[in-house]
Amino acid sequence: MLNAILGFTEIMLDELYGEVPPNLREPLVDIQTNGRHLLRLINDVLDLSKIEAGRLELGVDEYSVQEIVDVVHTSLKSLAIEKGLAFSVWVAPDIPTARGDGRRITQCLMNLAGNALKFTRQGRVEIDVRLDDGWLTYRVTDTGIGIPKEEVENIFAEFRQVDTTITREYGGTGLGLSITKRLVELHGGRIGVESELGKGSRFFFTLPLRTDGGVA
């Protein structure tokens, strides 16, 4: 159904049905924006319900850490440029081929880096990955709004954005962090955050370099 909603909207905007009257262009873009948001929400709810039901299976394969970081960097670069933020990535040069669900790990890093860019008004966002003793640590550091101390422990719970005005101002489904946490745990890893209000946040997750999936 969303395929039809988003599809018809796009072909109307591309004027396949003829010229779009100027006063209709904005509401059509509004349908598109909200349709895409609904799609994200549906995907997140589906992911979470699969995880809750123990039905989410990792698609384990060999993957390249550098490739994951590059995909996330490329996908989010335009958002960083739009907001005037510095956005850099660094991957330790000695990391061999890793094993896990590369697509899900990309989703995790995309969630964290997307949040960092969303909640940072000025300054920078950095992604770095290093390897210690067979464990990979992915870190996303920002100079954003930070998280109040009393909220840090709830930040990975479902529907837990710090307050409802955040949903209005920054968008998002409120499910990204809890999905990320569960996906990291499915890999036998763990996730954490350090944050200072007004200064910025650093989210990180640690995974075994090679894993066929653990028990969440």
Partner 1 sequence: MRDRTVLHIEDNEYNRKIVRQLLSRTSYRLLEAADGEEGVAVAQRELPDLILMDVQLPKLSGLDATRMLRADPRTAKIPLVVVTSFALSGDDRRAIDAGASAYLAKPYSPRDLMALIHRFLPEN
User: Which residues contact partner 1 (rule: CB under 8 A)?
Assistant: 1-4, 6-8, 10-11, 14, 16-17, 39, 43, 46-47, 59, 103
d(CA 13, CA 19): 9
CA dist., res. 127 & res. 110, Å (int) = 10
- At closest approach, how far in Å is the CB of 1 from partner 1? 8
Smallest gap from residue 58 Cβ to partner 1 (A)? 11
CB 3, min distance to partner 1, A: 4
Task: Count CA within 13 A, CB hemisphere, residue 44.
Answer: 20
| Backbone phi and psi for residue 88, each to the nearest 5 degrees, phi listed first | -125, 155
Task: Give, for 190, the enclosing helix (H) or strand (E).
Answer: strand 190-196
Integer Cα distance of 158 and 179 in angstroms: 8
Compute the distance between CA of residue 176 and CA of residue 152 in angstroms, rounded to an integer: 15
Instruction: Provide, rounded to whole angstroms, the least separation between the CB of residue 7 and partner 1.
Output: 4
Q: Provide, rounded to whole angstroms, the least separation between the CB of residue 6 and partner 1.
A: 5
Instruction: Output 28 or 166, the one with its CB closest to partner 1.
Output: 28
The answer to whether 32 and 65 have CB atoms below 8 angstroms apart is no
Two tokens, residue 82 = 């739009």
Cβ proximity to partner 1: between 11 and 157 the closer is 11
